[in-house]
Amino acid sequence: MENIIKLTLNNISSNDFRGKARRKMAGGLILGIDLGTTSVKVCVVNVTSREVIAKQSKDTQSHTPSDQGTGGSKQDVHKIIYALNTCVAKLPKDLLRKITRIGICGQMHGVVFWNSGKVKAWERIERNGTLVRYDVVQEELTALYTWQDSRCDSAFIESLPMPQSHLPTYSGYGVSTMFWMAKHRPEKMSRYNCAGTIQDFTVAMLCDLEKPVMSVQNAASWGYFDCKNNCWNFTLLKRADFPVHFLPEVVNSGKFVGTLADDWHSIPKGTPIGAGLGDLQCSVLATIESVHDAVLNISTSAQLAFVVENYEPTNGPPEVSPIEYFPYFHGKFLAVAASLNGGNALAMFVKMLQQWTMELGFSIPQSQIWERVLALGLDDNTRSDLQVQPTLLCERHQPDVHASVTNINIGNLGLGQAFRALCHGLLQNLHNMMPRDILSKAHITRIVGNGSGLSRNKVLQKEVQQLYQLPLVFTTGGDAAKGAALAVSLS
């Protein structure tokens, strides 16, 4: 058994600023931030009513070409931080002055490298000696290698040591990506001294931290983290020549790790900021209303999750399964079927149709294509025996199962039939990962919908109800930014 080196989970949140935070909480407001795969969302939440009283969002358009071609997935951190500054700047100044806490979540699993110390990866943009915003220094950090990155093929993953954790490791997970970088791009890694998720970087920037601090949620999403003992697999990783100095200190999810280094868009200097959190956990926290609720989120990807009260993780070996158990809040876990294929597969279908029309000499905006296929798919006559396996990005537990279309005949070639079959295939894939029987055994009585990919798509909504035979409802304000705010309100 590995000689486990435990991490201190509470030493960052000093009694001093926790006490100050409590005194400031009365009647205060919280800023919630979600750094998503395609957009940034921010909101101001009233502590007392738990209601969102102001919000903004902006698409990041941050994807950047990878030297791995379609096997790589990178995003420009500068564009993400620019979108964040834009969103916060648009919130009412009178509300920002009353912010008492900041909660930040974002896309899980990914990793960005940066420098901190004498030379930092961020800079102050000032006007007349007053901070206007923080910005990134492009030369002092890498792109964000996202959860969609597939440079670690099956053979490479199998060559890695077996994690001492109940969770397996996959391509796109932080530690796996770092193993690949250490083998194939060691000179690039040597130029940096810090690593974390995009939310960890943002917290470090706003707090001006020398070293990043990571929540248990993000550590588990990176892989090689023992959730039973709350520690990295240090000894195992050292034996495998992994650069363990990149692994951040870990704290409990919801804990504060620092304070705002200066007034930022009218938010007062010294405002406590929580450790970066997982967007999935925050989305569930903002959405769930009962222990009998399951949350279905369809945005870029798709997840179906519910809270498990008494789950006890092991320290390995991990079991490869379509259902995994990720840390939630207050010692609880989420049972999660996390599909890599969600709104991204539908968006690719629409993009393909647009490309075909352009090749035929026409130009049709994607918005019009979306409007048309959604209308066609709602017609019950579009149900057919056409079968679509929409796993364009495969699945983590089935990395070699690719997308396919089968059972094609002259009676099911209509556009509405194809779109309906695609929507059915997406939900059937998720149902295969977490069948209705699993929800029944967990005493789930309804599914709460979340994410624009589901809320705007009534075709998908019909398929959910047909496959799971449970009510599908939508609650107000159930997004990850609100969840991030609520998470630090519970601290």
Distance in angstroms (rounded) separating the CA atoms of residues 21 and 319: 41
What are the tokens at 43?
A: 């909101």
Output the average pLDDT for the chain.
92
- Report whether 277 contacts 304 (CB < 8 A): no
Ordered DSSP codes for 243-267: -GGGSPEEE-TT-EEEE-SS-BTTB
Type of residue at 235: T
Which segments of 185-328 does DSSP mark as H helices, in order?
A: 186-189, 198-207, 216-222, 234-239, 279-287
Distance in angstroms (rounded) separating the CA atoms of residues 78 and 315: 37
Chain-centre distance for alpha carbon 410: 41
What are the tokens at 116?
A: 């901190």
Domains defined for the chain, CATH in brackets? 28-281+482-488 (3.30.420.40), 292-474 (3.30.420.40)
Please report the pLDDT score of residue 8 as a whole number: 40
Please report the pLDDT score of residue 71 as a whole number: 87
Q: Which residues of the chain have pLDDT under 70?
A: 1-27, 477, 491
Distance in angstroms (rounded) separating the CA atoms of residues 314 and 165: 6
Distance in angstroms (rounded) separating the CA atoms of residues 249 and 212: 7
Distance in angstroms (rounded) separating the CA atoms of residues 202 and 190: 22
Please report the pLDDT score of residue 129 as a whole number: 84
Total-model pTM: 0.88
| Largest separation between any pair of C-alpha atoms in the chain | 72
